[in-house]
Amino acid sequence: MTQGMDGPHPDDRMRPAGRRNSQGIRIDPEAEATHEPRKAVLSTLVKHEPGVLAEVSGLFSRRQFNIESLTVGATSDDDIARMTIVIEEPEPGVVQAKKQLRKLVPVISVEELEPEAVQRELILIKVSGEKPDDVNAVADMYDGNVVDASPEAITVELTGSQQKIDAAVEAFDQFDVKEVVRTGAAAVERGGTTLMDERAETIESTAPAESPQTATDD
């Protein structure tokens, strides 16, 4: 038995000409453009209170944003912590991640850093203690320091950009690497630019002009 109602068949109906891609963006049906994933560094001020880290990491996992690293640390203000989050997403995902992050109640400000921002990681590499001189030489090459040494193992500390750290890890591979401990990125904008507490901005913007400007902002 046929269910439902009568009416024109789907094949006999008016049809639109266009199409969207899977991200809901109108496209030329002939040229399917896709967004390549890119790396974005999000510097975020959050209220320094219990549960914030869980809230932020929960957001990223449930919305399937791809986190490369996430570091949390204190700021000069005891009530505020900074999270530096490196994600890799196509452009719409980056935009969406920033907006969703900003919606969390303990999140004060979210800023994506410029690609040329200063980014540093710290790494501790523990290798076999058999060739102390060779280990020292490689450590020197990467401005690293031997921070612990024993007949069994030597531990080297290094800081630098992600690329430098990657290269160092590769160089140390020739020794018997026992353990690698890596922090995520800490990052800060070059020049005088700083990440503002948006709450403070709002208070200022309601006051008449003459707010102090940082001159070094480029």
Partner 1 sequence: MSEQAPVSPETAETDTDEQDGRAPDDGDTTQVETGAESVVAALENAGAETLFGVQGGAIMPVYDALYDSEELTHITMAHEQGASHAADAYGIVTGKPGVCLATSGPGATNLVTGLADANMDSDPVIALTGQVPTNFVGNDAFQETDTVGVTQPVTKHSYFADSADTVGDDVGEAFALAAEGRQGPTLVDLPKDVTQGETDVQPSPAEGPDTYEPPTTADPDNVETAAQALADSEKPVILAGGGVVKAEASEELRAFAKEYEIPVITTMPGIGSFPEDHELSLEWAGMHGTGYANMAITNTDCMLAIGTRFDDRLTGGVETFAPDAELIHVDIDPAEISKNIEADHPLVGDAKHVIDQVHEAMPAAPDADEWREQCQTWKDEYPLEYDTPDDEPLKPQYVVERFSELADDDAVVTTGVGQHQMWASQYWTFTEPRTWVSSHGLGTMGYGVPSAIGAKIGAPDQEVVCFDGDGSFLMTVQELSVAVRENLDITYVVLNNEAVGMVRQWQDGFYEGRRMASEYPWIPEFDKLAEAFGARGFRLEDYDRVDDVIEAAREYDGPAVIDAIIDPAENVYPMVPSGGDNGLFALNGDQLDDI
Residue numbers at the binding site for partner 1 (CB under 8 A): 1-11, 13-26, 47, 50-51, 54-55, 58, 62, 92, 95-96, 99-100, 102-108, 198-199, 202-203, 206
**Residue 17 vs 215, nearer CB to partner 1:** 17
Instruction: Give me the least distance between CB of 74 and partner 1, in Å please.
Output: 19
Alpha-carbon distance values, 206 to 7, 169, 201, 211 (Å): 59, 51, 9, 11
**Residue 54 vs 209, nearer CB to partner 1:** 54
**Residue 38 vs 99, nearer CB to partner 1:** 99
Lookup: tokens for 146: 């031997």
Any idea what DSSP says for residue 193? -
Return the closest-CA partner of residue 156 out of 165, 144, 173, 164. Answer: 144
Give me the residue label for tokens 């791809």.
66
Look at the alpha carbons of 60, 163, 114, 181 in this order and tell me if their dihedral is positive or negative: positive
Instruction: Give me the least distance between CB of 25 and partner 1, in Å please.
Output: 4
**Residue 56 vs 165, nearer CB to partner 1:** 56
Instruction: Give me the least distance between CB of 86 and partner 1, in Å please.
Output: 20
**Residue 8 vs 212, nearer CB to partner 1:** 8
Q: Which of 9-16's residues contact partners 24+ apart within 8 Å by CB, and which partners?
A: none
Return d(Cα 169, Cα 203) in angstroms, integer: 47
Instruction: Give me the least distance between CB of 45 and partner 1, in Å please.
Output: 10
Instruction: Give me the least distance between CB of 51 and partner 1, in Å please.
Output: 6
Return d(Cα 106, Cα 57) in angstroms, integer: 13
Return d(Cα 189, Cα 130) in angstroms, integer: 42
**Residue 38 vs 102, nearer CB to partner 1:** 102
Return the closest-CA partner of residue 73 out of 28, 31, 122, 32. Answer: 122
Alpha-carbon distance values, 33 to 23, 28, 37, 69 (Å): 10, 9, 13, 28
**Residue 105 vs 215, nearer CB to partner 1:** 105
Instruction: Give me the least distance between CB of 158 and partner 1, in Å please.
Output: 36
Instruction: Give me the least distance between CB of 215 and partner 1, in Å please.
Output: 28
